A and B are shown apart, each in its own frame.
Chain A
Amino acid sequence: MRLKLVNSRAGRIARAADLIRNGLEIRSCLKLGVPEIDEILPWGGLPRGLHDIALPPVAGPGDAAPAGFAALLATRRPGPVLWCRLRRAAEGDPYGLGMASFGLAPGRLILVEVRRQADLLWAMEEGARTRGLAAVVGEGAAPDLTAGRRLQLAAEAGEGLVLSLPPPRAFSSSALTGWRVNSEPSAPEAGGPGRPRWRLSLWRCRGGRPQDWIVEWDDAAFSLSVAPALANRPLAAAAG
């Protein structure tokens, strides 16, 4: 009886300390650091929950822009990143040295490789429930309505950020936001490819309006920004 009392008191103290430590952080949401995008999102940034980052239906194979965008979002919170992927859907393996150029230290990655969709969704859900992860990324995840709802609830319970990178022509309809990301021709620098440029299209957003941007990733300053509207690409190409 006495033990029980102490236990419950210890539990209460632990919970209170937890709240003090995390309270402020829980309520804030993830800013992309791009004012144009953050102000469109009804939460002022990306809230904890399930987000869908897909390639546009017309995009061909070999476009790793969604993975780059996911890596970029994952680095904005502290802690390790659970990167789950479906074996047959994956086009190449995550490469730590490349992740590093989006600010994601390779040592923070926990890579999970699964064979079945059910295992992938299970691993993502387990990750979403776990405190202390920066993000859970699911490559090749195609959750149906029930599974998507489960993921969303798990992410809310664990205050996790779950990024679903679905296979071509799939999306999770229960996600809070749906993004389509694909590469765009960059402004060339010194004859070579310039900074990575993506077309970022917020096409589904709970309580918000869809919109498109062309964004550019500056790896030196580690910042994402809306690209200048005029890229003098044809001229540069002709000169090169």
Chain B
Amino acid sequence: MTLADARALVPGLTAAEAQPEADAMALTGLADWCGRYSPWCAVDGSDGIRLDITGCAHLFGGEAALLGDIEQRLAAFGISVRGAIAATPAAAWGWARHRPSNAEAILAAEDDDALRKLPVAALRLEEEDVQALIALGLATVGAIAALPRAPLGQRLGKAVLLRLDRLFGRMAEPISPRAPAPLWRVPMIFAEAIGRREDIDAATLHLTRCLCRDLSLKGKGARRLELSFFRVDATVQRVAIGASRPTHAPGHLARLFAERLDRVDPGFGIEAMVLEATEIEPLAPRQSIFPVPGECEAADLAALIDRLQNRLGSTRVAQLVSVASHVPERAELYRTASWAEGEVSLVGIELAPANSRPIKLLSPPEPVEVMAPVPDDPPLSFRWRGKLHRIAAADGPERIGPEWWRPGPGRARDYYRVEDSEGRRFWVYRDGLYGAAEPPRWFLHGFFA
């Protein structure tokens, strides 16, 4: 029927354009929200959400109470919902959509007769296949299931067999969850929605304590954690933190979260929080009463690096690693800090002559205008950022060749350690040699203290 025909029939018809992408996004958001009931939840088709509630129902007072809770909350959001619980995902799909109007929403696991009475459409076949089956006189699932298997497969295709097997649980149909299933998980559901920062902090501390107690009993420590906030308006916010070494210290984890909680917008209130450990490592218990010198400090330092990295980003906190290269800017690398192994041991310092390297290095080197006698005398003066520096003393050249084993252009550099008339010390170099095809250029590369 076209819209014009519909308008002719119902003059006051309200029309809205279909927005499949927006619908899919809303459904995804709702699936995330369902994560409060079970970590195994996934979007199912264009109009369904599937939850694996194995081992979860008792947390909500049984299967009926769980389903009732979902339906009631979704109804409060203004979403009309048809839910069903069954032994297999396929059975739940069919039972939710095609069960008789007077039937219970929960289908007992051994109740195959009820499944057999469902219409053929409950098999989730293509629409034309369903029509073909009905045309053949096979109106119910039971009618198809009663036929011999081999001819059925040959006549109607493998899909029908697959659906039947899934419906009766003869073949597994795993759920691929939205988020990777966490290894450890602690939920907390509030009697009344909370919104104050103090309450959120207290709940966070409580959750980290519960999780850390479980972790320490098993001799594990968390490396990555995720805290999810379920708001009353069916949206979910997540905050993730990382630790540079496995930990089960609740105070430390709560502090790491505290840095991030500013970003959480409670909206009209948060009704549930779930703390999940997404990455854990073994952490053997250690005797902590008699301190080994340096051990407390090492733990404090690791905690400090965690806090810095969680707030500023892990790449902003670095340690220096030396590289066996004589090119100054390649001789050192900034590596993301982790104090797990203690101080970085450095090799290759001896590559550079003592006291010949500046305390600050400009990256990239800045071009300067230089007055220097040819071919390789130290400069007499140079101009950097518009200011002229007259050179009183100079040391050099120290020739540093390009690394020929690396691709790309490179020219030999002659470095000079120069001191200007006011005592400031600079590290300047000439890129290239006089007399070559391309004239040399001068750069400022660093500052000595």
Contact = CB atoms under 8 A, between A and B. Distances in A.
Interface residues of A, number: 67
B360 A93 contact: yes
B385 interface: yes
B281 interface: no
Contact of A91 (B322, B343, B360): B360
Given A17-B291, A185-B421, A219-B355, A98 B446 contact: yes
A217 B448 CA distance: 12
Contacts of A182: 423
B322 A106 contact: yes
A102 B422 CA distance: 21
B328 to A, nearest CB: 8
A111 B318 contact: yes
Nearest to A97: B357
A114 B316 contact: yes
Interface string B264-295: 00000000000000000000000011110110
A107 B345 contact: yes
A101 B446 CA distance: 15
Contacts of A71: 359, 449
Interface string B288-311: 111101101110110111011001
Interface stretch (A26-34, A146-154, A187-195): A187-195
Interface in A41-74: 60-65, 67-69, 71
Nearest to B354: A101
A93 to B, nearest CB: 5
B349 A196 contact: no
Given A92-B361, A97-B349, A192 B417 contact: yes
A228 to B, nearest CB: 16
Nearest to A196: B449
| Chief secondary structure at chain A's binding surface | mixed
A140 interface: no
B184 interface: no
B361 A98 contact: yes
A39 interface: no
A185 B422 contact: yes
A193 B447 contact: no
Given A64-B358, A97-B357, A102-B449, A21 B291 contact: yes
B384 interface: yes
B422 A183 contact: yes
A130 interface: yes
Contacts of A60: 387, 422, 424
A132 to B, nearest CB: 3
Interface stretch (B62-70, B140-148, B392-400): B392-400
Nearest to B293: A21
A198 B423 CA distance: 8
Interface residues of B, number: 67
B275 to A, nearest CB: 23
A111 B395 contact: no
B201 interface: no
Contact of B334 (A98, A111, A130, A184): A111
Given A67-B359, A71-B449, A196-B425, A80 B291 contact: no
Contact of B384 (A62, A82, A133): A62
Interface string B344-372: 11100100101101111111000000000
Interface in A4-52: 10, 13-14, 17-18, 21
Contact of B419 (A69, A112, A127, A186): A186
A119 B110 CA distance: 62
Nearest to B343: A107
B192 to A, nearest CB: 31
A36 B334 CA distance: 39
B29 to A, nearest CB: 32
A109 to B, nearest CB: 6
Contacts of B332: 95-97, 106
A98 B393 contact: no
A179 B150 CA distance: 93
A214 B273 CA distance: 62
B359 A102 contact: yes
Interface string A87-120: 0000111111111111001111111111000010
Contacts of A99: 359
A194 B339 CA distance: 38
A206 interface: no
Contact of A112 (B308, B385, B426): B308
Contacts of B305: 110
B320 interface: yes
A240 interface: yes
Nearest to B358: A98
Given A112-B317, A193-B395, 8 more contacts: A92-B361, A95-B328, A97-B349, A100-B357, A132-B294, A185-B421, A185-B422, A196-B449
Interface of B: 288-291, 293-294, 296-298, 300-301, 303-305, 307-308, 311-312, 316-320, 322, 328, 331-332, 334, 337, 339, 343-346, 349, 352, 354-355, 357-363, 384-385, 387, 389, 392-396, 417-419, 421-426, 446-449
15 contacts: A14-B291, A62-B384, A63-B424, A80-B301, A92-B360, A96-B320, A109-B319, A130-B304, A133-B301, A183-B449, A188-B392, A193-B394, A193-B425, A196-B425, A217-B449
Interface of A: 10, 13-14, 17-18, 21, 60-65, 67-69, 71, 79-80, 82, 91-102, 105-114, 119, 122-123, 126-127, 130-133, 182-186, 188, 191-194, 196-198, 217, 219, 237, 240
